[in-house]
Chain A
Amino acid sequence: MDRRDFLTIGAPRSREAIRGESRGVTAARDASQTPPAFARRSDTDLTTYSGSWTYKQAAHLLRRSTFGPTEAEINQAVADGMEATIDKLFTPWEPPLDGIDSWANATNFQALPDTANGEDFTTFQQKQYERRDLFIRWILLSMQHSPVSIQERLRLFWHNHFTSEVLVVNYPELIYEQYKLFKQHMFGNFKEFTYDISIDMAMLIYLDGIKNYKTTARNNINENYARELMELFTMGVFDWEGNENYSQDDVIAAAHSLSGWQYNVDNPRNILFVDRKAVFKSLWWDNGQKTLMGQTGAWNTQDVIDIIFAQRGDQIAKYICEKIYRGFVYDVADRVVVEQMANAFRAGNWELRPVFEMLLKSEHFYDETNIGAMHKGPIDYMVGMIREMDITTVPGLDDLANARANRDLGGRLQSLGQVPYYPPNVKGWPGGRTWTSTSTLPIRQKFGIDVGAENISLQRKQYYLIDPIEFAKQFSDPYDVQILTDEMSRFLLNTEPSEKEADLLFQTILDGGVDYEWDLDDPNQRPEERIRKFLQAIAQLAKFQLY
């Protein structure tokens, strides 16, 4: 079957996948600017990649599986080869608990002000806000300081799947617990992952699980989590042929079955969460008969997970693999490839790691057409630049004392729409082209200008500090301005610059001078200023928005 046809049959769920070929390209204006016919499909699949392993493939792998790999990391990956690099990627690490160590792993925590010891509500609330901000800072720090590991990329991916909002959950302690859960299951067993997230305290608060109960006195069955469990977390509303995956009756049956999970509080004082885990209270659970997807019984939460994975295995495998594909390869899923992934996923009994590895080692992943084809999200973009350009001072990140007062980075992420645990809604960030709009692009480009600038005055006079000379010295011959330009471009852009772009970048660094006079060690040649201009210019290119 022709893949183009395959991609457009049925009623796909993502809007990008629906139209397959027809998503509009808007660049055509006159003949000189008419873009070529884009090759949307390729014949590559999950066959293990055995082509050449060069800077290009190594950089592609690290850009997609970490945030902003450094020149040294890319060169190391070239030397190590694909297999060894992927082994390294699937190695968890333990980020230091910078700024959150006093409370992150304490067994219990206060849910209300400790009035017995004189704590008032305002003080308590301030403490909660502080912990929340420092937790989000810690997430970003973990990304910034990560070794070569897929961990932080995967945690963000799963956070955007099993979504939560800190403003709803309110307790940073519980959000932290959830973030630990993402690490525990990030490439483990998806079915176990789904069960654990269903009884995760933050999730129970976020999607009203704790409000979902039935006692002899009250019948407060709340459908919120049951619906999203099926619609967003496992199978989606429709299968690939456009059939509904579940009915409203299934939602109601699941809601009844999922009831009974409650806070584990230290009664009678009622202000301590114990163990940060939910407890199952059988008196709050609807123990009646429920019919879920044709199966009747006195189902509980584990039964719901067992039933939906057994009854809708095909749909779940495809839905999750399509999401993985769109998170790591391209925003429009190639369903031939996704189906191969889904088959492996089910055959492997919902183990995630083999699926991820298969994808990251595939011919399809390294297919020329997919390299540099994803839109950088705000975190990809900002954290990526911080790492790539080795920004040594980041207002809002590195100085704990000032981290809450100067949140320049957080402010920029907020204006671009991606702060961890502040997704737009339970569906998470839609990603893809939505990241690139007339509203966001100028903000992104402005960040490039500010980072490159020597003296942009920000709040409290803190700067994004880079050392252009040291930056240049990591390349093979920083004294040859042509080689330096080419290597910096190769490092910062994910596809090769066009001739015009290359010329623009070269003219920018020449800055009216001549190439043979370039000398990195001669202040009279203003090498530092000229490299800054180069970095500012490269951040203006459309290619820089992609990875």
Chain B
Amino acid sequence: MKRRKFIQRVASTGIVLPIAFGFPRLRAFGQSPKGSPFTRLAAAENDHIFVIIRLAGGHDGLNCVVPYTNDLYYNARFAGTADDLSIPASDVLKFSGSNTLGFHPSFAPLLDLYDEGKMTLVQNVAYPGQNLSHFRSTDIWLSGSDANVFDDAGWYAKYLEAKYPDYPEVLPASPFAIEFGNFLSTTLIGEENNMGIAVGNLDYIPGLPGNDDLASTKAGEEEAYVREVIRQSNIFSNAVLSAYVGGTDNAGSYTTASGTLGQGLAAVARMISGGLDTKMYILNVGGYDTHTNQLTTQANLLSQLASAIKEFQRDIEALGFADRVCAGTISEFGRRVKSNGTGTDHGEAAPVFFFGHGVNGGIIGNDPNLSDLTGPGNLKSEYDFRQLYASILSQWYGATEAELAPALPHSFDQLPIFKVSGSGVADTDALAAGFTIGQNMPNPARSRVSIPVAGVKGGMNARFSLYTVEGRELLAQPVNPGQTSVEVDVSKLPSGTYVYALTSGPLRRTRQMVVAR
């Protein structure tokens, strides 16, 4: 009788959100999250959120972070010919911390974030054993597997599966992860279970789940799968819709330039503001496969990316949870150094971008080396993409070494992408004081490092200090007015992560240093 009523009511009301999540029937399937093992576990975890923006198609790093002093780049991109595919040195956006690299003009909105230390760029990232197939490369990036291993479970899902063995018998109050669209990436598909949900049009209602006995056939197995999807859809749509409806809608403040990506990020901000505890969001943007017509296509795509990220950052800052949210881009590969006349074919290494209050800012890694190429003329990688995943899990989500193990096939050195959480050294509003401290070079550190500083004036009594992540001071030295860099020898320090700071009275600005050798 209940089911009949349900159908009747839905049929007569059509598409109405409150009906969808106001329905008492939903409780019959979802256990109350209060007091469940899940919430106890979750309490031990931080409240950080990561947003993955996937640039599908393989993005061209060279035109994005342009080595504008390198003739090899301009030769490879046919500068000065009718097929010129390069970004002229006069057009690139130069930024502090490099005299050789500049951003694509479309990245203009991101310059502020970079200057505020809210953007980290990791150079030359790829996976070892480049295959050049979109689909195979995407599988590898999304799963975190080695290139010669076919793994249909993803790094984040495996991390979650190990951490929450009771799932899905006990479902969390909010889905662990949300991917926008109809399909779930491998990243969110575990060995046994889907660890995230796909969210498309939020305006549709959930339907009736079945719970009958199943035939012991392939058909029965697929039916079990459908039923589980229906069950989760019913339970999670409640949480997602409540947060979405109850959240702050700032979508109108995103510009047209930010496009559908901006609208997607606005929805993410809205759901977070509505209290959704989801830990990861994935958004996919296509079109980066620029075999032809690259100049126009790339300019539009980068403009959308930069505008959307900038506006999202400002949105979450205004909403007051910017400390909890970081974002990053991934793409299956970079593109060929040499132009094919109208575009670029599939390549290998490319830069990856991270954004948010939680990142250290600056550049990690060397400028791309255009005189030492691999395969059919592709950039060699300096970092394995799993180093990024390890850094996200450990530095951002606070995963222990034991928790990292199930997620990735090996142990990977981390990169100083995020400020270490739980550090004893807190940041104060140093921007107000007008002084800044840059990222150590080289990065990661080996022996001697140079750290740029700026804005130190007379009477500030500024001081440079290096700490362990627990906050124990290892060394300190004064910084004089007008000084532009601090030189430090870390050759005696063991490999690991450290924090350094520029302090003046109550004001302090911190960054993180990774020592690796």
Proximity string of chain A (219-256) to chain B, C-beta cutoff 8 Å, 1 when within and 0 when not = 11111100100011000010000100000100110000
Contact residues in A for B191 (Cβ distance below 8 Å): 22, 24
Contact residues in B for A23 (Cβ distance below 8 Å): 152
Q: Is the CB of B4 within 8 A of A511?
A: yes
B-facing residues in A500-547 (Cβ within 8 Å): 500-501, 504, 507-508, 511-512, 533, 536-537, 540-543, 545-546
Least CB separation from A433: chain B residue: B225
CB of A370 within 8 A of chain B? yes
Q: Is the CB of B218 within 8 A of A439?
A: no
Least CB separation from B224: chain A residue: A27
Most chain B beta-carbon contacts within 10 A, residue among A439, A445, A536 = A439
Least CB separation from B181: chain A residue: A439
Contact residues in A for B232 (Cβ distance below 8 Å): 438
CB of B11 within 8 A of chain A? yes
Contact of A507 among B4, B186, B194 (CB under 8 A): B4
Distance between A532 CB and nearest chain B CB, rounded to angstroms: 8
Contact residues in B for A208 (Cβ distance below 8 Å): 291-292, 343
Q: Is the CB of B10 within 8 A of A218?
A: no
Q: Is the CB of A26 within 8 A of B193?
A: yes
Least CB separation from A22: chain B residue: B191
A-facing residues in B95-143 (Cβ within 8 Å): 131-136, 139
CB of B263 within 8 A of chain A? no
Contact residues in B for A24 (Cβ distance below 8 Å): 190-194
Contact residues in A for B4 (Cβ distance below 8 Å): 507-508, 511-512, 533, 537
Distance between A149 CB and nearest chain B CB, rounded to angstroms: 26
Distance between A268 CB and nearest chain B CB, rounded to angstroms: 21
How far does the alpha carbon of A427 sit from the alpha carbon of B214 in the complex, in Å? 33
Contact residues in B for A498 (Cβ distance below 8 Å): 212-214
Q: Is the CB of A437 within 8 A of B198?
A: yes
Q: Is the CB of A372 within 8 A of B219?
A: yes
Q: Is the CB of A248 within 8 A of B218?
A: no
A-facing residues in B194-227 (Cβ within 8 Å): 194, 197-201, 204-227
How far does the alpha carbon of A439 sit from the alpha carbon of B188 in the complex, in Å? 15
Least CB separation from A415: chain B residue: B201
Q: Is the CB of A433 within 8 A of B222?
A: yes
Contact residues in B for A43 (Cβ distance below 8 Å): none
How far does the alpha carbon of A94 sit from the alpha carbon of B226 in the complex, in Å? 37
Q: Is the CB of A26 within 8 A of B200?
A: no
Contact residues in A for B228 (Cβ distance below 8 Å): 25-27
Q: Is the CB of B225 within 8 A of A25?
A: yes
Contact residues in A for B134 (Cβ distance below 8 Å): 425-427
Q: Is the CB of A533 within 8 A of B8?
A: yes
Q: Is the CB of B200 within 8 A of A38?
A: no
CB of B15 within 8 A of chain A? yes
Most chain B beta-carbon contacts within 10 A, residue among A18, A369, A508 = A369
Asked whether A27 and B286 contact (CB < 8 A) given A38-B216, A443-B200, the answer is no
Distance between B214 CB and nearest chain A CB, rounded to angstroms: 5
Q: Is the CB of B229 within 8 A of A436?
A: yes
CB of A11 within 8 A of chain B? yes
Contact residues in A for B206 (Cβ distance below 8 Å): 441-442, 445
Distance between B163 CB and nearest chain A CB, rounded to angstroms: 17
Contact of A441 among B11, B226, B341 (CB under 8 A): B226
Distance between A496 CB and nearest chain B CB, rounded to angstroms: 8
B-facing residues in A362-383 (Cβ within 8 Å): 368-375
CB of A494 within 8 A of chain B? yes
CB of B429 within 8 A of chain A? no
Number of interface residues of A (CB under 8 A): 97
How far does the alpha carbon of A24 sit from the alpha carbon of B233 in the complex, in Å? 18
CB of A35 within 8 A of chain B? yes
Contact residues in A for B226 (Cβ distance below 8 Å): 375, 436, 441, 542-543, 545-546
Asked whether A446 and B341 contact (CB < 8 A) given A15-B150, A29-B168, A248-B375, the answer is no
Contact residues in A for B230 (Cβ distance below 8 Å): 441, 542
CB of B56 within 8 A of chain A? yes
CB of A296 within 8 A of chain B? no
Distance between A449 CB and nearest chain B CB, rounded to angstroms: 6
CB of A101 within 8 A of chain B? no
How far does the alpha carbon of A36 sit from the alpha carbon of B209 in the complex, in Å? 18
Asked whether A543 and B223 contact (CB < 8 A) given A19-B152, A220-B342, the answer is yes
Contact residues in A for B248 (Cβ distance below 8 Å): none
How far does the alpha carbon of A458 sit from the alpha carbon of B8 in the complex, in Å? 18
How far does the alpha carbon of A71 sit from the alpha carbon of B349 in the complex, in Å? 57
B-facing residues in A426-464 (Cβ within 8 Å): 426-427, 430, 433-434, 436-443, 445-446, 448-450, 452-453, 456-457
How far does the alpha carbon of A452 sit from the alpha carbon of B4 in the complex, in Å? 13
How far does the alpha carbon of A242 sit from the alpha carbon of B136 in the complex, in Å? 13
Proximity string of chain A (83-101) to chain B, C-beta cutoff 8 Å, 1 when within and 0 when not = 0000000000000000000
Distance between A533 CB and nearest chain B CB, rounded to angstroms: 6
Contact residues in B for A440 (Cβ distance below 8 Å): 182, 198, 200
CB of B184 within 8 A of chain A? yes
Contact residues in A for B151 (Cβ distance below 8 Å): 18
Contact of B217 among A237, A369, A437 (CB under 8 A): A369
Asked whether A369 and B219 contact (CB < 8 A) given A26-B225, A29-B169, A439-B201, the answer is yes
Q: Is the CB of B219 within 8 A of A442?
A: no
CB of A39 within 8 A of chain B? yes
Contact residues in A for B229 (Cβ distance below 8 Å): 436-438, 441
Q: Is the CB of A443 within 8 A of B201?
A: yes
Distance between B293 CB and nearest chain A CB, rounded to angstroms: 9
How far does the alpha carbon of A425 sit from the alpha carbon of B286 in the complex, in Å? 9
How far does the alpha carbon of A504 sit from the alpha carbon of B6 in the complex, in Å? 13
Contact residues in A for B221 (Cβ distance below 8 Å): 25, 35, 38, 40, 373
Q: Is the CB of B199 within 8 A of A438?
A: yes
CB of B14 within 8 A of chain A? yes
Most chain B beta-carbon contacts within 10 A, residue among A27, A373, A374, A545 = A27
Proximity string of chain B (314-342) to chain A, C-beta cutoff 8 Å, 1 when within and 0 when not = 00000000000000000000000000111
Contact of B150 among A18, A29, A232 (CB under 8 A): A18
Asked whether A437 and B225 contact (CB < 8 A) given A449-B7, A501-B210, the answer is no
Distance between A205 CB and nearest chain B CB, rounded to angstroms: 10
CB of A417 within 8 A of chain B? yes
Q: Is the CB of B133 within 8 A of A536?
A: no
CB of B376 within 8 A of chain A? yes
CB of A264 within 8 A of chain B? no
Q: Is the CB of B375 within 8 A of A211?
A: no
Q: Is the CB of B292 within 8 A of A456?
A: no
Contact residues in B for A508 (Cβ distance below 8 Å): 3-4, 7
Contact of A439 among B56, B83, B139, B200 (CB under 8 A): B200
Distance between B189 CB and nearest chain A CB, rounded to angstroms: 8
How far does the alpha carbon of A232 sit from the alpha carbon of B135 in the complex, in Å? 10
Q: Is the CB of A438 within 8 A of B341?
A: no
How far does the alpha carbon of A370 sit from the alpha carbon of B217 in the complex, in Å? 7
CB of B237 within 8 A of chain A? yes
How far does the alpha carbon of A514 sit from the alpha carbon of B193 in the complex, in Å? 43
Q: Is the CB of A330 within 8 A of B182?
A: no
Proximity string of chain B (354-379) to chain A, C-beta cutoff 8 Å, 1 when within and 0 when not = 00000000000000000000011000
Least CB separation from B169: chain A residue: A29
Least CB separation from A437: chain B residue: B198
CB of B73 within 8 A of chain A? no
Beyond the given A446-B205, A543-B226, please list 8 additional residue pairs across the A-B interface where CB-CB is below 8 A: A22-B191, A26-B193, A232-B135, A371-B217, A426-B134, A434-B182, A434-B183, A437-B183
Interface residues of B (CB under 8 A from A): 1, 3-4, 7-8, 10-12, 14-15, 56, 83, 131-136, 139, 148, 150-152, 168-169, 181-184, 186, 190-194, 197-201, 204-230, 232-233, 236-237, 286, 291-292, 340-343, 345-346, 375-376
**Could you list some 26 contacts between A and B, CB below 8 A?**
A12-B150, A15-B150, A18-B150, A24-B191, A25-B225, A26-B224, A208-B292, A220-B340, A222-B340, A223-B340, A248-B375, A370-B218, A372-B217, A372-B222, A373-B219, A375-B226, A424-B183, A424-B286, A438-B197, A438-B199, A439-B201, A440-B182, A456-B11, A498-B213, A537-B3, A537-B208
The 5 closest A-B pairs by CB, nearest first: A445-B207, A220-B341, A439-B200, A498-B212, A38-B221
